[in-house]
Amino acid sequence: METISKSSSWYNAIFHDIKVTYTTRDNRRRVKIYTGITYIREKSCRYSFGTVGNLARNSVLSFGMDGEYTFSETFSVTEEIRDSYNRIGFIIIRNFLDKEELALIKKALEESDSITKHAYELSDGVDRRSKMVLWRHPGNDITGIMARSEKLAGSIEKLLGHGEIYHWGSKLMMKEAKTGGRHLWHQDYGYWYQNGCLFPDHLTTAFIAYDRCNKENGCLQILKGSHKAGRIEHTFVGGQTGADVTRVEELMKVCPLQYVELQPGDALIFHSNLIHRSDKNDSEQRRWAFLISYNTKANSPVISTFAPAYVPLNKVPTSAIKSCSNFTDMTGKAFLDPKDDITVKADA
Ligand SMILES: O=C(O)CCC(=O)C(=O)O
Ligand SMILES: [Fe+2]
């Protein structure tokens, strides 16, 4: 998110879907969203000053992408954040994990093999394989504490607004340099439907960047607002479940494609019907990311599959992440053996 003061030259620029945050003279914080392309000329800039009116003398205007926020100690899910999520199907929270938290997670992922030894690969339907580790329950190690933390689980509970949430599943997506595979266009609810969850609005995923994610190393791509299209038909393509290609092509004409470029620690939280994909990784940069998914107690599956029925999450305070010293004991996580997953073909 770009923060630009009233005096700096932020005019003569083109923005796509911007959010303008400003302070009025009577010190109230206001937010305006301009969808589509906004060309800010010096003139129209005065005009927006005019329309927003009564700007405080030293007001700071923040221009950010629609749905983008920054984490701070005072961060909480506001009505504005919920509105963004419901309108466009996702939000981005920059700096969600700080350097200290990332360094602790590194101990579990790179200084021990207690998570990565459970990795397996699935064909991407073309010529690459996607490497990942899946687990059903959070457990008590640093990655589980993160998933159960007030800042993640508490925020998601508020964002969904459908009562108590629980851990639906976590993935460490290990998109390796030079070899990492693609993910085809899909909705997560395309396969979670098969796990017997009735309401897509009750399911969401936090994609948390562990490495930097950019176009070069296959960052996530999303079709903004596509969650409003409902569930699209999905079929097997290679080892993965992919959304009906013709329907996706039509939706691409009306739902803008957005590359979600993230720095380590940034989080994207997206609706289970938001259509997304990612490219193979031809770059020298590894792209590892966590995908932590949640469901609500009220939406516990009506059939029995490998996916967990409601079990309390046991939230912990955010400070528990930094005080966690368990980087190796993965008891209770229930790592997935792909042979148990009815929505993928492990041997494809
Ligand atoms: O990590 C990625 O690029 C996409 C993964 C994904 O969408 C999924 O596992 O459902
Ligand atoms: Fe997905």
64-106: pLDDT as tens digits: 567 999 999 999 999 989 999 999 999 999 999 999 999 999 9
pLDDT for the residue 54: 40
Of 248, 291, 242, 245, nearest to 270 by C-alpha is 291
Backbone angles phi, psi at 102, to 5 degrees: -65, -35
pTM: 0.84
The secondary structure of residue 228, as a DSSP letter, is G
List 296's β-bridge partners, or say none: 165
The residues, ordered by sequence, that sit 6+ positions from 62 with a Cβ below 8 Å of its Cβ are 1, 2, 3, 4, 19, 20, 21, 22
CB-CB contact of 220 with 213 (8 Å): yes
* pLDDT tens figures, 278-305: 999 999 999 999 999 999 999 999 999 9
Nearest CA residue ID for atom 10, ligand 1: 188
Q: 17: Cβ below 6 Å to ligand 1?
A: no
The span from the CA of 160 to the CA of 152, in Å, is: 12
Q: Identity (one letter) of the amino acid at 201?
A: D
> Which regions in the chain score pLDDT beneath 70?
1-25, 34-65, 237-239, 339-348
Q: Which CATH number applies to 97-340: 1.10.3720.10, 3.40.50.1360, 3.90.950.20, 2.60.120.620?
A: 2.60.120.620
Residue 289 near ligand 1, beta carbon < 6 Å? yes
Question: The tokens of 151 are what?
Answer: 């800042």
Ligand closest to Cα of 180 equals 1
Q: How far, in Å, CA of 203 to CA of 187, rounded?
A: 11
Give yes or no for a contact between 239 and 283, defined as CB atoms under 8 angstroms apart: no
Ligand 2: centre distance to CA 241 (Å): 10
Report the separation in Å between the CA atom of 275 and the middle of ligand 2, taken as the mean of its atom positions: 8
Which among 205, 226, 231 has a CA at the least distance from the CA of 274? Answer: 226
φ, ψ of residue 112 to 5 degrees: the values are -145, 155
Q: Is the minimum distance from the CB of 173 to ligand 1 under 6 angstroms?
A: yes
Could you give the CA distance from residue 52 to residue 49 in angstroms, rounded to a whole number? 5
Ordered by start, the domain boundaries in the chain are 2-66, 97-340
DSSP three-state, residue 17: strand
Instruction: Please indicate whether residue 276, judged by its CB atom, sits closer than 6 Å to ligand 1.
Output: yes
